Amino acid sequence: MALTPAELVHYVDHTLLSPTATAADVAALAAEAVALGTYSICVSPAMLPVTAELGGVKVATVCGFPSGKHTAAVKAAEAAESVALGADEVDMVIDLGLLKAGHPEATQAEIAAVRASVPAPKVLKVIIESAALTDPEIVQACRAAEAAGADFVKTSTGYHPAGGASVHAVELMAATVDGRLGVKASGGIRDWATAVSMIEAGATRLGLSGTAAVLTGGRSAGY
């Protein structure tokens, strides 16, 4: 795929989810996102509302982050508050234990509870921590997300010890949702080649914290 940095940047959720992030850090993130032309910024719920001038850059946040070990009611309430504070998109973490225990219907139910708090045209992405799942579990998670009305499935939080995005997981997720949902690759994408490989595998959105460095790598490589 012959992508240029000017094209790839439109896939990017420019992300800052550090526990030590300050309002000044978010303001700097927003300014950089506007300068680079990213699709959105992604910040923690406690950093909402974002008061910086964003132009057309969207605001995304997270829910049940990073462990997913919150009740569905708590996740739904967190998502509702984030939407009320101006979030355009919510990236929720599923309870991995539900899938591991063989209860994909419970996964679908918790996603549906959050979806009810994130009404269209707001966007709901479902983080499945693909590196911690088997291939059949990845498929189950994607099917649960689709059945519950989600807009995207997303590989990773970037905080799980099993790792972040992989080309294999993105390919499997993309094949499972088959264009009906978006696929976000996130976690460990730190260079141009990796970013492009995720898009080639079927990702329609990228979660990047080092966006400028990735784009510089693309320009340095002659793209």
Give the tens place of pLDDT for each residue, 49-76.
Answer: 999 999 999 999 999 999 999 999 999 9
Specify the 3-state DSSP secondary structure of 90. Answer: strand
Share of the chain above pLDDT 90, in %: 99
Query: pTM above the 0.75 mark?
Result: yes
Check if 91 is active-site: yes
Alpha carbons 56 and 122: distance in angstroms, whole number? 15
- pLDDT category at 4 given cuts 50, 70, 90 is very high
- pLDDT category at 1 given cuts 50, 70, 90 is low
Q: Say whether pLDDT at 44 is over 90.
A: yes
Specify the 3-state DSSP secondary structure of 110. Answer: helix
DSSP sequence for 141-165: HHHHHHHTT-SEEE---S--TT-S-
What value does the mean pLDDT take over residues 32-41? 98
Check if 184 is active-site: yes
Catalytic residue among 75, 95, 125, 184: 184
With CA atoms as reference, report the closest residue to 205 among 142, 141, 146, 151.
151
With CA atoms as reference, report the closest residue to 154 among 176, 129, 171, 118.
129
Specify the 3-state DSSP secondary structure of 42. Answer: strand
- Which CATH architecture is the domain 5-220 placed in? Alpha-Beta Barrel (3.20)
Catalytic residue among 13, 91, 95, 151: 91
Mean confidence (pLDDT) of the chain: 97
Q: Say whether pLDDT at 197 is over 70.
A: yes
Residue 2: per-residue pLDDT: 84
What value does the mean pLDDT take over residues 196-202? 98
Number of C-beta neighbours around residue 88 at 10 A? 17
User: Is 196 in contact with 4 (CB distance < 8 Å)?
Assistant: no
Residue 215: per-residue pLDDT: 98
Check if 122 is active-site: no
What value does the mean pLDDT take over residues 20-47? 98
Catalytic residue among 13, 75, 151, 154: 154
Residue 52: per-residue pLDDT: 95
Express each pLDDT in 96-154 by its tens digit. 999 999 999 999 999 999 999 999 999 999 999 999 999 999 999 999 999 999 999 99
CB-count burial class (<10 Å; 0-12, 13-18, 19+) for 54: middle
Cα 216 to Cα 66, 76, 222, distances in angstroms: 29, 38, 10
